[in-house]
Amino acid sequence: MVRMVAERSDAIASLAEVFREHGYEGASLALIGKATGLGKGSLYHFFPNGKEEMVQAVLAEIEQWFEDSVYSPLRDGTDADAAITAMLDETAKYFRSGRRVCLVGALAVANTRDLFAQAIRGYFVSWVDALQSALVRQGRDAEQARLLSEDAVLAIQGAIVLSRALDDPAVFQRAIDQLRGRLAVEGKTIRDEGSAPKSP
């Protein structure tokens, strides 16, 4: 069902799904118009620079969602364990247990990477940095936290690709469950133990 579009922001969700499903090159104005309910004139009224501006608007919306729901709690939350658990829960919901394409990741590996390089890099750097800060607050040293943070983001992105390739959401869920074990401290102080919890 096409949503009523009264202003530019109303079209963002529909645009995002078109680009997820068809990619940047494959998202024709006909497909975009069908998804948004907007004619060519209205599309260019809201987005004078065409598809590039549409994707930039979608990426800005994605960045804001992750900032509010993932990055900020990881950076600023008083309970690092709770923030990490919330990150995994929110990520699983956002990517619909691996059924939803990561648009930023898709753009990163396509020939459109340079066109949106700043937004793509910002998405991944912000995620890794925010998770690292939460892991440091758990008691891990900065180097260990950095490596673990990069591994976690890599695992989530890889799980999205593999679960979609196999058409098996259980693959994504297993990756999230394994990360819960790797990232959790469960009330123990890592420095007191001398090492991080082992992966399950």
pLDDT tens series, the chain, 200 aa? 455 566 889 999 999 999 999 999 999 999 999 999 999 999 999 999 999 999 999 999 999 999 999 999 999 999 999 999 999 999 999 999 889 999 999 999 998 899 999 999 999 999 999 999 999 999 999 999 999 999 999 999 999 999 999 999 999 999 999 999 999 864 444 444 444 433 33
pLDDT of residue 97: 84
Distance of CA 55 to the CA centre of its chain: 15
Closest CA to 104 of 145, 66, 150: 66
**Is residue 183 within 8 Å of 84, Cβ to Cβ?**
yes
* Alpha carbon distance 74, 80 (integer Å): 7
pLDDT of residue 143: 97
Q: What is the pTM of this model?
A: 0.86
The C-alpha angle with vertex 154 and arms to 89 and 143, in degrees rounded to 5, equals 100
Closest CA to 189 of 142, 148, 138, 134: 138
* Alpha carbon distance 42, 166 (integer Å): 39
DSSP for the chain reads -PPP-SSGGGGHHHHHHHHHHHHHHH--HHHHHHHHT--HHHHHHH-TTTHHHHHHHHHHHHHHHHIIIIIHHHHH-S-HHHHHHHHHHHHHHHTGGGTS--HHHHHHHSTTGGGGHHHHHHHHHHHHHHHHHHHHHHT--HHHHHHHHHHHHHHHHHHHHHHHHHT-HHHHHHHHHHHHHHH--TT--HHHHTSPPPP-
Residue with tokens 């800060």: 133
pLDDT of residue 79: 95
